[in-house]
Amino acid sequence: MKAFAAVDVIRAKRDGATLTDDQIRWVVDAYTRGDVAEEQMAALAMAVFLRGLDARETATWTGAMIDSGSRLSLPVERPTVDKHSTGGVGDKITLPLAPLVATCGAAVPQLSGRGLGHTGGTLDKLESIPGWRAELSVDEIIAQLNSVGAVVCAATADLAPADRKLYALRDVTGTVESVPLIAGSIMSKKIAEGSAGLVLDVKTGSGAFMKTRSDAEELARTLVDIGTAHGVATTALLTDMNTPLGAAVGNAVEVAEAVEVLQGCGPADVVELTVALAREMLALAGISADPAAVLASGEAFETWCRMIAAQGGDPSAPLPRPAHVTVVESPADGYVSALDAYAVGVAAWRLGAGRARKEDPVQHAAGIRCLAKPGERVTEGQPLLELHTDTPDAIPAALAALTDAVQTTDTPPGPRTLILGRVS
């Protein structure tokens, strides 16, 4: 492979030039091998963030990320289908969704990530469960898919290793919200993991990386086109992220809420989105089943217990509880008209649910419980939010993030539309 000077590639993109296929393949390969330094890739990521990549550059970037490692082969009897969310606040959907779709007859190899910016990470949430482990070998993944039907774990070390490095770097360099970088990150892992079908949950709103619907639609179309070009049946739902999903935001609190959903209860919006995504996944897998009925029956909870136990976790063990709880009360009577997802996500992150640097740990007990959601009537002094943390010094900063998070009006707001559209 022809070698380039990293600074020349950075300057080219900084100045708005279109990178050649050879430049892209070289820089991704050299970064993976350590020949391009972290600060150089950080500069290139910022140049891409500001200047963008066209369709060809994005396709080549994604292919280079895939080729930085190996591709999984999944010899399982069931049809394979996966789901990916672009990230939100309170987005614990993977937790009930994977066992639900497995209960309906598909195999779900859900290779997940950790928290990115103000959004939570599925692996961080699941590590709240005593004994549960995220790191599995390929043989363990295949065995669990055959025995349980679902696995949620970290990507293996040789699966798109370039993305593993770049994913963490983007989080701490302000380069997360870039369509080509998001698309390359998502699709390199998902194509390399070997699923035959993929459903994408592309979020839009204050708590999403794509703030506007037009940006979300652009990302959805980019993702679907990349998947289709690589032979993976791909569809996307556009979903609202102006309001947190469910009542729980954080780690252990979201696991507890997911369990409620799996037991046939839980918040209506979490149930709605879980069922909608399950229907899309089952359609791609060619399976005729009613996920709403299966979820209501509690059958998927049994699959959840087996999935957690297969990865060393104790599904009946108590979840971590916070050392400190602070309550935010309503300042007036009225109807909750808005609950800003971004503000809640930032507050949960400041409480310890997320990380400021890629090497930071998270607090499993940290998070927020939303005690009133838009449309609900509240009275002055009524608890609105419950802040959980093990570090009370973090509470003032979290409260500052929540200054204008909750809005009330004298009349109830209109109903929320959770699912905004579909791209296929």
What is the side-by-side strand order in the sheet with 324-329? 248-250, 367-370, 383-389, 324-329
Q: Is 388 assigned a catalytic role?
A: no
Euclidean distance between CA atoms 412 and 44, whole angstroms: 47
- Bridge partner residues of 367 (DSSP): 250, 388
Cβ–Cβ under 8 Å, residues 414 and 235: no
Euclidean distance between CA atoms 220 and 421, whole angstroms: 10
Q: Which residues contact 140 (CB under 8 A, 6 or more apart)?
A: none
Euclidean distance between CA atoms 152 and 303, whole angstroms: 12
Euclidean distance between CA atoms 127 and 11, whole angstroms: 41
Active-site hit among 13, 84, 92, 164: 84
Q: Is 84 assigned a catalytic role?
A: yes
3-state SS of 46-84? HHHHHHCCCHHHHHHHHHHHHHCCCCCCCCCCCCEEEEE
Active-site hit among 25, 118, 165, 170: 170
Active-site hit among 189, 350, 364, 373: 189
Element spanning 294, H or E: helix 291-297
* Residue labelled with tokens 């699959």: 303
Active-site hit among 112, 178, 185, 195: 185
Exposed, middle or buried, 396 (CB in 10 Å: 0-12/13-18/19+)? exposed
Angle at 80 between CA 75 and CA 83, to 5 degrees: 140
Q: What is the DSSP letter of 350?
A: I
Q: What is the DSSP letter of 278?
A: H
Q: Is 163 assigned a catalytic role?
A: yes
Q: Which residues contact 34 (CB under 8 A, 6 or more apart)?
A: none
Q: Which residues contact 226 (CB under 8 A, 6 or more apart)?
A: 58, 59, 62, 183, 187, 191, 234
> Which residues are known to be catalytic?
84, 163, 170, 185, 189
